[in-house]
């Protein structure tokens, strides 16, 4: 293990957790990741191993059977997992967001019902906000929930669900139009338990997961649509028990999710650097190893600096949230920086590999297809810059 991406001030427990995860990644993920990715195969054995390690309950409070760890610990774990295979971190991420939302906003009954089984990995979560015509404009949401007695009837189509098929619990954002003064106060999050699988769901009439969306990268993990046709959800499955709070609950989930995406970018970039610096010391041209050429050394120096900068930015954003401070500025910066630097570091490593980087035999080919997803997930670079810009104007507003 090199000196890059080290984190000061960790407890002994945090260091032990990271050492265990790093060993798991090196032994159980990296050796099989490329083969599974090329087959677009769900990593069932890896997921079972993560369940045994308790990773699905990493941040869930101990009273509900989890480990009660911080966002920082979780982010550092995700960085290690993404270093092995980014798709595996996606399997954990949406689960983590849903668990965070239930723990932060759920009723006591919802916490007691869901969190212990989520901590054990028996229930696995998916997060459903986006729609085919929605993009970043959440106010344009069209999936609707209408109150009918002691339940709601949901109709609409959702898009880009990570774990859409394999999950057993989906947090779904719908428009409910129950008197809020703005569109953002007329949205509600529903918790829908379902059977894993594709097609019409046998336990939730009207709910359909059509199938996996084919992607250029981020394979292995299933990304899906979700179709709701007169799906009836009990009112006690409104997150928090009160309608109209869904937008704010989802944005809280996205905020911690941005730290997670930053951590994924850090992990992928670190792996790309490791592959690049190793290959540079093996490949010989013009009578010497390419690592001895100044042009390659310049690339390695730039790559390492970006790996280090992104890691430290991500750590700062996580610590802000753990300290109870507002962190949308830092989370936006971290997500933007880490995803952009990840793309650049992966491309430089690809260039160092030369023609071999274009071969599926080499791991960098997989990373080259995975990195672009980070430019989009949890908000594009443009959205992050908009968030950061607005917050900076709040912080530096001049007196008029």
What burial class does residue 185 get, using C-beta atoms within 10 Å of its C-beta: 0-12 exposed, 13-18 middle, 19+ buried?
A: middle
Q: Would you state the structure tokens that stand for residue 217, as one six-digit string?
A: 């990268």
- C-alpha count within 13 angstroms, C-beta hemisphere, residue 194: 33
Q: Which of 378, 394, 395, 400 is catalytic?
A: 378
Residue 224: which of 197, 261, 247, 262 has the closest Cα?
197
Residue-wise DSSP of 46-77 = HHHHHHHHTGGGSSS-GGGTS----HHHHHHH
Structure tokens belonging to residue 256: 């911690």
Q: Where are the beta strands (DSSP E) in the chain?
A: 125-128, 144-148, 151-162, 169-175, 187-193, 199-200, 207-209, 223-234, 284-285, 288-289
CA dist., res. 98 & res. 37, Å (int): 25
Active site residue 363: no
Three-state secondary-structure class, residue 323: coil
Catalytic residue IDs: 378
């Amino acid at each position: 293990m090199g000196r890059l991406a080290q984190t000061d001030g960790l407890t002994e427990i945090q260091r032990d957790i990271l050492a265990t995860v790093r060993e798991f990644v090196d032994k159980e993920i990296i050796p099989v990741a490329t083969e599974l990715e090329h087959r677009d195969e769900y990593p069932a054995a890896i997921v079972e191993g993560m369940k045994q390690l308790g990773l699905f309950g990493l941040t869930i409070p101990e009273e509900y059977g989890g480990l009660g760890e911080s966002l920082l610990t979780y982010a550092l774990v995700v960085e290690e997992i993404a270093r092995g295979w980014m798709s595996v971190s996606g399997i954990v991420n949406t689960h983590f967001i849903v668990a965070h939302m239930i723990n932060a906003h759920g009723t006591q009954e919802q916490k007691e019902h869901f969190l212990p089984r989520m901590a054990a990995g028996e229930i696995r979560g998916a997060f459903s906000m986006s729609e085919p015509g929605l993009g970043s404009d959440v106010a344009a949401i069209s999936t609707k929930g209408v109150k009918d007695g002691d339940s709601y009837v949901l109709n609409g189509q959702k898009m880009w669900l990570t774990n859409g098929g394999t999950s057993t619990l989906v947090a779904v954002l719908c428009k409910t139009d129950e008197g809020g003064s703005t569109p953002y106060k007329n949205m509600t999050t529903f918790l829908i338990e379902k059977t894993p699988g594709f097609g019409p769901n046998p336990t939730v009439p009207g709910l359909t997961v059509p199938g996996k969306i084919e992607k250029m990268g981020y394979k292995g993990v299933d990304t899906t649509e979700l179709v709701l046709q007169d799906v009836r959800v009990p009112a006690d499955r409104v997150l928090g028990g009160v309608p109209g709070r869904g937008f704010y609950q989802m944005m809280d989930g996205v905020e911690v999710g941005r730290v997670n995406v930053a951590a994924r970018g850090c992990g992928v970039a670190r792996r790309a650097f490791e592959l690049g610096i190793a290959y540079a010391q093996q490949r010989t041209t013009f009578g010497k190893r390419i690592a001895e050429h100044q042009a390659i050394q310049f690339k390695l120096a730039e790559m390492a600096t970006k790996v280090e900068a992104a890691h430290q930015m991500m750590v700062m954003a996580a610590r802000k949230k753990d300290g109870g401070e507002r962190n949308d500025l830092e989370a936006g910066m971290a997500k933007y920086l880490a995803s952009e630097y990840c793309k650049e570091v992966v491309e430089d490593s690809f260039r160092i590999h030369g023609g071999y980087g274009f071969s599926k035999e080499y791991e960098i080919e997989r990373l080259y297809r995975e990195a672009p997803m980070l430019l989009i997930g949890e908000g594009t670079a443009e959205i992050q810059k908009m968030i950061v810009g607005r917050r900076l104007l709040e912080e530096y507003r001049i007196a008029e």
